[in-house]
Amino acid sequence: MTSTMLDSITGVGGPSPEAVIRVRDVTKSFGGAAALKNVSLDVHAGEVHALMGMNGAGKSTLVKILSGAHNPDLGHIEVADRVQTQLTPRRARRLGISTVPQRRELVMSLTVAENIMLGDLPNRRSVVRWRSVADEARAALDGLGISIDVGHIAGDLTVAEQTMVEVAREVRRGGRVLILDEPTACLGADAAEQIRALVRRLRDGGVAVVYISHHIDEVLGIADRITVLRDGAVVRSGVTGDIDERGLVRDMAGRDVVSERPQRAAASRDVGLAVRDLSHGRSIDGFHVEVRKGEIVAVLGPAGDAQSRLFDLLSGRRRPDRGALCVDGRPVPLGSVSRALGSGLRCVTGDRRSLGLIPDLSIDENLLLAQDRLAGRRLHRSSALARRAAPLRDDYRVVSLAKNPPVGRLSGGNQQKVLLAKWLGTRPAACFLEDPTNGVDVAAMADIHTLIDALAREGVAVLLASSSAEEVMRLADRVIVVRGGRMVAEHEINGITRDELVATVLGGELS
Amino acid sequence: MSIGSPARTGASETAPQAPDRRWRLPDMRIPHSGLILMLILVVALASFQTDSFLTTTNLLNVLRQVSAGAVIAAGLTLLMTAGGMDFSMGSVVAVTTAVAAQLIAHDQPVWLAIVVSMAVATVLGLVNGLVVTFTKVAPFVVTLATATLLDGVFLVILEGLSVSVGAELSELGNGTTLGVPNLLVVAVIVLAATAFVMRYTVFGRDAFAIGGNEDVARLSGINVVRAKLVLYGLAGALSGLAGIMLLSRLAGSSPGTAGLPMQLTAVAAVVIGGTSLHGGRGTVVGTTLGVLLLGVVANVLNLLQISSYYHLISVGAVLLIAAVANQLHNRRK
């Protein structure tokens, strides 16, 4: 079972020139807005086919059509040389098309073994045979070279491990075409490399991998073939070697996207935000920083390290064990949301789904959610709301097809802009931003960087938590590196190169 | 990540739509159109079956009967939209009728009986709110417990007997203003006020925000604790009002008045009206239609002289059908 697993799923074994999926002239629109226009592409066994495009370019719609969740309005899909009309998720799965979505779909309270075998638990007269469950699950993981104890609870695994378990489950169920939607989003460098290694093993075993990612470096490194979508149409589809980074960005954005450090006036001498001796359990210990007005200070660390605790502690959601906070020279008690807001500190979460936006409420209402409360408004009129939200929408370039849909229907990049607008539109005295470009495309990223530059130029003290060295190099004036909950280094951004910075994060010298 | 399925924009649709071969429900662009359709069907059926249904007397009677329930359902809509739940409102109604009836029976002035019993009801609501907010026990569990407890307290206050208030409250219970029953006037005012609060006040929008995502609401500067306490207190106060309304209509309080069965009907009406059990969504219009539908069904069964055993069966069936229809409707969107 173990060694033959990958051979068996390909049927023939080894890469073949035959496409396993052919998409032909597919068009799909929703309520008059075309999401896909005449899209054609081939997916081959034993190849990694990257699907790139900006937020809203049609990647998700294409994935939904491949996986049977939507049917095309025009055009068709061929799977294994047969035209598939009326593809349903169940049929697609039977044909070996599996999707590993961006959000993990594991039962977090069950073990890895049970998750892998879910829906197909080995049993004798309906009594589960736990030994076989563990054995078969272990075989499924071993077959893909994954070493995770099948007895662990899924919820205790790291995100990367959860992704791998999900991939193993899909392969065990007979997935011949695996669609991976941004499998390395929110992962640190090591974890992302583990995932990429797994993708390469899948490919070498003959699986067709459809790989969706915003990371251009990553795609150029891993993909055999790249298809770029823009505004619902294919603008380029070809072998990876023919495409360079610049061309890829131009294809995706439709223009050259430049995101370079602007010249900013020196920060003022006044300290806008000061944190002293912030400590909470083992996750963060003795953190301190002084951010002057008009300065951007970044806190950089491996994903999930001390910088990711700052949101909870500074916003007042959690009370730290020790520490002091000063905003604009005035002390602010920690552990109280209302006191933190009252001081003029605005904390923007990196987790917009669970801590940032209310998906069922409209864009406008989300934009003004905080502003109206801070202003102590009592009455609420939707016409007035639209009028007051309009400038925010313009300034932050929030784009939506419908007039004012629930914010949950927007693309990730637009949701992120709504989140930033919601907080930065409240005239902050100081600002804490957590991964502000999490899961957004290059153009939206450039927009958001420009917005943050502008914020600093207005004299706001900006503290930025990030796990991306590029972003830090682009935005920050100063960087603090954290690891294992402690501060390990502090540098002026002009005195360090990107590579030195990455080395420090990965465990270089103490300075 | 991508545009997913953008909202259907109604009249502004211009692009040709591809033919969809699948069978689908009639397009429900009008909010609550399914519910309205169901109500029309029941009314039509009833008018064919019995002449006495479509008479002014009977219709006004139906409206009088559902008034108290409508007041509870209004409070519950607001509370459930904020992600809360109160199973004890019917029991608070019962306790209110008992307290007021005993006070009146013991020769206390009517205004005092009303003030005291409604204050008791408000406090009971607040107690629910305090327990829910500060212990973080699921509101379902807390209020089911208080409901059971209060049903017992109710019997203790009545000492198991019926207590009559004579004609003391008949102006409210039987009187009319310009031909409209006073009970109905009160219910309409409460429903309209609730709808206004939900739509046009920041407090109402706070309820949507808290129900939609409590963490985000708190981080956005909404005082979630205070809002919840007010909502539970309001649920108690409205239960008190409903208690006075019920007492005035029945002219007395007796074991079996209100209690958990009344509450279940109110929950059914709210759910039929499309308010989400998870919070974040709810409308007073839907709730009103739900209350009317259940009231009309009960009335029709009465007129057709069908055994009261079938009453529960019909409420259950209506709830099930409406809940399934809501779910299908939401999924299509």
Domains identified in chain B and CATH numbers: 31-42+50-332 (1.10.3470)
Shortest Cα distance, chain B CAs vs residue A255, angstroms? 20
Which residue in the block uniquely carries the two structure tokens 């465990």?
A507
Residue A10 is predicted with a pLDDT of 41
Cβ-nearest to A380 among B9, B200, B218: B200
Whether residue A296 is predicted with pLDDT greater than 90 in this model: the reply is yes
Inter-chain contact A60–B3, Cβ cutoff 8 Å?
Answer: yes
Which residue, among A442, A71, A30, has the nearest Cα to A230 in the 3D structure?
A442
- A residues 184-223 closer than 8 Å to B (CB): 212
CB of A60 less than 8 A from some CB of B: yes
- B52/B61 Cα distance (integer angstroms): 12
- A353/A416 Cα distance (integer angstroms): 10
Inter-chain contact B6–A31, Cβ cutoff 8 Å?
Answer: yes
Residue B333 is predicted with a pLDDT of 53
Shortest Cα distance, chain B CAs vs residue A443, angstroms? 14
- B173/B171 Cα distance (integer angstroms): 6
The percentage of residues in chain A with a pLDDT greater than 70, rounded to a whole number, is: 94
User: pLDDT category, A236, cuts 50, 70, 90?
Assistant: confident
Q: How far apart are the first and last CA of chain A?
A: 52
Strands (E) across A85-223 are located at: 97-100, 123-124, 127-128, 177-181, 208-212
SS3 B60: helix
Which residues from chain B sit within 8 angstroms of residue A337, using beta carbons? 218-219, 221
- Determine which of A166-170, A303-307, B190-194, B201-205 has the lowest per-residue pLDDT on average: A303-307
Inter-chain contact A360–B280, Cβ cutoff 8 Å?
Answer: yes
Residue B17 is predicted with a pLDDT of 40
Q: State the architecture of A12-105+160-253 in CATH terms.
A: 3-Layer(aba) Sandwich (3.40)
Inter-chain contact A354–B203, Cβ cutoff 8 Å?
Answer: no
CB of A383 less than 8 A from some CB of B: no
Shortest Cα distance, chain B CAs vs residue A28, angstroms? 9
Residue B228 is predicted with a pLDDT of 94
- A residues 418-447 closer than 8 Å to B (CB): 422, 439
Whether residue A215 is predicted with pLDDT greater than 70 in this model: the reply is yes
3-class SS string, A294-306: CCEEEEECCCCCH
Residue A89 is predicted with a pLDDT of 85
Which residues from chain A sit within 8 angstroms of residue B13, using beta carbons? 31-32
Query: Phi and psi at residue A157, in whole multiples of 5°?
Result: -75, 160
User: pLDDT category, B239, cuts 50, 70, 90?
Assistant: very high
Taking CA atoms, what residue in B is nearest to A383? B200
Which residues from chain A sit within 8 angstroms of residue B224, using beta carbons? none
Which residues from chain B sit within 8 angstroms of residue A401, using beta carbons? 3, 6-7, 9
Whether residue A432 is predicted with pLDDT greater than 80 in this model: the reply is yes
Q: What angle do CA A106, A112, A115 make, to 5 degrees?
A: 45
Fold: same for A12-105+160-253 and A271-507:
yes
Which residues from chain A sit within 8 angstroms of residue B205, using beta carbons? 365, 380
Whether residue A8 is predicted with pLDDT greater than 60 in this model: the reply is no
- A residues 22-41 closer than 8 Å to B (CB): 29-35
Q: What is the pLDDT of residues A177-213, one digit of tens each?
A: 999 988 887 677 778 888 888 899 889 988 999 998 8
Q: Give domain limits for chain A.
A: 12-105+160-253, 271-507
Amino acid A321 reads: D
List all residues 6 or more positions away from B219 whose beta carbon is below 8 Å from its beta carbon.
Answer: A315, A317, A337, A347, A349, A355
The token pair that represents A338 in the structure block? 């209302």
B189 vs A437, more confident: B189
- A396/A212 Cα distance (integer angstroms): 26
Q: Which of A358, A363, A365, A374 to mutate to test the interface with B (most CBs of B within 10 A)?
A: A358
Inter-chain contact A55–B1, Cβ cutoff 8 Å?
Answer: yes
CB of A85 less than 8 A from some CB of B: no
Q: How far apart are the first and last CA of chain B?
A: 18
Taking CA atoms, what residue in A is nearest to B7? A402
Q: Which of B3, B14, B223 to mutate to test the interface with A (most CBs of A within 10 A)?
A: B3
- DSSP H or E segment with residue A27: strand A19-30
Whether residue B14 is predicted with pLDDT greater than 70 in this model: the reply is no
Q: State the architecture of A271-507 in CATH terms.
A: 3-Layer(aba) Sandwich (3.40)
Residue A507 is predicted with a pLDDT of 66
Which residues from chain B sit within 8 angstroms of residue A422, using beta carbons? 220
Residue A467 is predicted with a pLDDT of 78
Whether residue A309 is predicted with pLDDT greater than 70 in this model: the reply is yes
Q: What is the arithmetic mean of pLDDT over B69-79?
A: 95
Residue A145 is predicted with a pLDDT of 84
CB of A403 less than 8 A from some CB of B: yes
User: pLDDT category, B15, cuts 50, 70, 90?
Assistant: very low
Cβ-nearest to A60 among B2, B9, B202: B2
Taking CA atoms, what residue in A is nearest to B13? A32
Which residues from chain A sit within 8 angstroms of residue B203, using beta carbons? 378
Q: What is the arithmetic mean of pLDDT over B73-97?
A: 94
Q: What is the arithmetic mean of pLDDT over A109-117?
A: 88
Judging by beta carbons within 10 Å of its beta carbon (0-12, 13-18, 19+), is residue A362 exposed, middle or buried?
buried
Q: What is the pLDDT of residues B296-305, one digit of tens each?
A: 988 888 888 8
Inter-chain contact A354–B8, Cβ cutoff 8 Å?
Answer: no
User: pLDDT category, A11, cuts 50, 70, 90?
Assistant: very low
Shortest Cα distance, chain B CAs vs residue A373, angstroms? 6
DSSP state of A104: -
Q: What is the arithmetic mean of pLDDT over B15-29?
A: 44
Indicate whether this complex's ipTM tops 0.90.
no
Taking CA atoms, what residue in B is nearest to A401? B6
Which residues from chain B sit within 8 angstroms of residue A347, using beta carbons? 219
CB of A59 less than 8 A from some CB of B: yes
Query: Phi and psi at residue B73, in whole multiples of 5°?
Result: -60, -35
Inter-chain contact B3–A33, Cβ cutoff 8 Å?
Answer: yes
Inter-chain contact B212–A359, Cβ cutoff 8 Å?
Answer: yes
In the A/B pair of chains, how many CB contacts fall below 8 A?
Answer: 135
Question: In sequence order, what DSSP letters do the residues of A297-361 get, joined into one string?
Answer: EEEE-STTSGGGTHHHHHHTSS--SEEEEEETTEEE-SS-HHHHHHTTEEEE-S-IIIII--TTS
Which residues from chain A sit within 8 angstroms of residue B200, using beta carbons? 379-381
Shortest Cα distance, chain B CAs vs residue A43, angstroms? 21
Inter-chain contact B221–A380, Cβ cutoff 8 Å?
Answer: no
Cβ-nearest to B14 among A32, A181, A400: A32
The percentage of residues in chain B with a pLDDT greater than 90, rounded to a whole number, is: 44
CB of A377 less than 8 A from some CB of B: yes
Which residues from chain B sit within 8 angstroms of residue A357, using beta carbons? 213, 216
User: pLDDT category, B2, cuts 50, 70, 90?
Assistant: very low
Which residues from chain B sit within 8 angstroms of residue A381, using beta carbons? 200
Which residues from chain A sit within 8 angstroms of residue B218, using beta carbons? 317, 337
Which residues from chain B sit within 8 angstroms of residue A59, using beta carbons? 1-2
Cβ-nearest to B5 among A30, A358, A380: A30
What is the residue-averaged pLDDT of chain A?
84
User: pLDDT category, B132, cuts 50, 70, 90?
Assistant: very high
The token pair that represents A119 in the structure block? 């829906």
Cβ-nearest to B220 among A58, A317, A369: A369
DSSP state of A281: T
Which residues from chain A sit within 8 angstroms of residue B223, using beta carbons? 338
